[in-house]
Amino acid sequence: MTRTITIKKPSQRMIQVFDSLREKKRQQVEKLMKKKECVFTVKV
Amino acid sequence: MDISFDIYNDKGDQIRVALSYYDTESLQAFTSDPLTLTLVFYDVALVRVVGEEPVGVKTLMAICDVLFKFMNDNDTAVLCFYCDDLTEVPRNHKNLMPQEYRSRLFSCMFDMYVKANGISNIINYGIKIEDNNIPRFAHFITQEKYLPAVKLLGNIIMEK
């Protein structure tokens, strides 16, 4: 089940947390496009 | 180390699903709640390696299969999916921003999967914030029994 909350006026700290999640994602995507590390294969 | 799964469909698309451990030792500075400290957080990244068209339901369900099997094998795992705007995403709904589309697609495939498989103990907890009128989305996938702990942690970290 999906539950969603919306925060219209986020605190500065909350924005910083989202910024750090975005940075982590950027690093991940960059790394994933470069090298493979323990990759399993699924065919559908 | 990251764990990755490459999903190939019969149209030649390739999607990489990667789970990456978050170093959360620093959480001890925020809380002493024993339940919260047992949680293990993983970043989920979905990368389109080959293909440019939107993928079908079968492939989306295969992605969910990977994520749910991981959750079943790792009881205290909490998956974090940040919906990024870093790259474009193939989509029919061009009026939606990439991060908004990713969020909707993620929730849609999650709900389809749990309905099809009769799963009721795993929750997709989405958080949307409005940052200077730009929407940003993060999703936390957790066992329902850990949702209060996840919320508690979120409130502490984000000083909500």
Write the secondary structure of A5-40 as one string of H (helix), E (strand) and C (coil): EEECCCCHHHHHHHHHHHHHHHHHHHHHHHCCCCEE
* Domain span including residue A24: 10-44
Domain count for chain A = 1
Mean pLDDT confidence for B88-98: 86
Contacts of A29 in chain B (CB under 8 A): 45, 47, 84, 86-87
Q: Does the residue A22 lie in any domain?
A: yes
What pTM was estimated for this model as a whole? 0.90
Mean pLDDT confidence for B109-124: 96
Closest residue, chain B, to A21 (C-alpha) = B82
Comparing CB atoms, the residue among B16, B86, B160 nearest residue A25 is B86
pLDDT tens, residue by residue, A1-44 = 899 999 998 988 889 889 988 998 998 888 887 766 678 888 88
Angstroms from B50 CA to nearest CA on chain A: 11
Query: Does residue B143 belong to the interface with chain A, where contact is any CB pair within 8 Å?
Result: no
Compute the half-sphere exposure of residue A14: CA atoms within 13 Å on the CB side of its CA: 18
Pairing of strands B40-50, A39-43: unpaired
Q: Are B138 and A33 in contact (CB < 8 Å)? A: no
> What pLDDT is stored for residue B32 in this prediction?
77
Q: Is the dihedral of CA A5, B122, A2, B85 positive or negative?
A: positive
CA B51/CA B15 separation, integer angstroms: 9
pLDDT tens, residue by residue, B13-57 = 999 999 988 876 666 666 777 888 889 999 999 999 999 888 999
Mean pLDDT confidence for B4-15: 94
Query: Does residue B27 belong to the interface with chain A, where contact is any CB pair within 8 Å?
Result: no
ipTM: 0.86
> What pLDDT is stored for residue B135 in this prediction?
95
CA B90/CA B67 separation, integer angstroms: 21
| Extents of the domains making up chain B | 3-158
- Best mutation target, A2, A6, A11, A13, to test chain B (most B CBs within 10 A): A2
- Identify the burial level of B94 via C-beta atoms within 10 angstroms of its C-beta, where 0-12 means exposed, 13-18 middle and 19 or more buried: exposed
Tell me the two tokens of residue A42. Answer: 């699924």
Mean pLDDT confidence for B60-66: 96
> What pLDDT is stored for residue B88 in this prediction?
84
